[in-house]
Amino acid sequence: MRHYITSGHLPQSLLFAGAAGSGKTRQAMDFFKSLNCIESPGSPCGRCAVCFKLRSGSHPDLVVFEPPVVGRQVDALREVLDGIRLRPFEARQRLVLIEPAEDLNKSSSNALLKALEEPPPATVFILISHNPALLLPTIVSRCQVLRFAPSAPAGEGAADLAEFRSAVREILAGGDPLALMAKVQPLDREELAGPLSVLDALLRDLWLLSCGAASLVAAELAGLDLRPDYYELDEIWQLLRGLRRGGENQNLKAAFAEIAIRLGRLRAA
Ligand SMILES: [Zn+2]
């Protein structure tokens, strides 16, 4: 586990996108604990100095910036960025949380962009946003985007979605990837939102697993013998991005087939 955390697979900027109240901030804090717990990285002990400091509300290497809406916002941000030029005080990885990122004005956004382009040592930036469409596109494109969906839809469609979700889990458990295609068959462009949200949530969990943060993902997933490779995950992310953006004549079946095959490769070799 330590290997994943220290091997540099960690992207240096993340965007947690999703509706208010979908657990993004909590997840970011847990992620910091998971990266830095002294006793058991990947599965925070709750007792060591890092876990303890966080529980009592502060750690020198967890930096939270809430963009002020009055005064010179960019000066406040610069002060924060100046404070993180050197290595972290105690932690393996410092975390800089910016929330809500859509409150950054233009000059702050540019200052942040510069920091994302030349990040300080051992530092992960997490931007939290309820409305990523308001962010500077150049900032978004530098971030690995983790989507936090609102709670699952109920009623009609929920059953289909549950079926799709279990078909995906089946692949991760060692089943035939192309069996997923039977569930995808009736999909058309208007019905993509549900399956995409299932895959978004899954990718987020797989990504946390690849960082060694097994304690943050659903037990049924953590129990599978998975060794998600960051680069493989990134390929799947690109496919999802393509599906979300896709034009009328995009071949949905081919895209889902490729996702299914790549998911099948995430099992431990
Ligand atoms: Zn700990």
pLDDT in tens, 79-88: 999 999 999 9
Contact in structure between 84 and 121 (CB atoms under 8 Å): no
pLDDT digits (tens, 9 = 90+) for 35-71: 888 888 777 888 888 888 888 778 999 999 999 999 9
Contact in structure between 41 and 31 (CB atoms under 8 Å): no
Mean pLDDT of the 87-110 span: 94
Rounded distance from Cα 63 to ligand 1 centre (Å): 18
Distance from C-alpha of 15 to C-alpha of 159, rounded to nearest angstrom? 30
Rounded distance from Cα 28 to ligand 1 centre (Å): 16
Rounded distance from Cα 32 to ligand 1 centre (Å): 11
Strand 94-98 to 62-65 pairing: parallel
Rounded distance from Cα 33 to ligand 1 centre (Å): 7
Rounded distance from Cα 9 to ligand 1 centre (Å): 22
Residue 41 sits at φ, ψ, to 5 deg, of -55, 140
Rounded distance from Cα 47 to ligand 1 centre (Å): 5
Contact in structure between 93 and 124 (CB atoms under 8 Å): yes
Rounded distance from Cα 130 to ligand 1 centre (Å): 30
- ipTM greater than 0.85, yes or no? yes
Please, which pLDDT band fits residue 72 given cuts at 50, 70 and 90? very high
pLDDT at 113: 97
Rounded distance from Cα 52 to ligand 1 centre (Å): 7
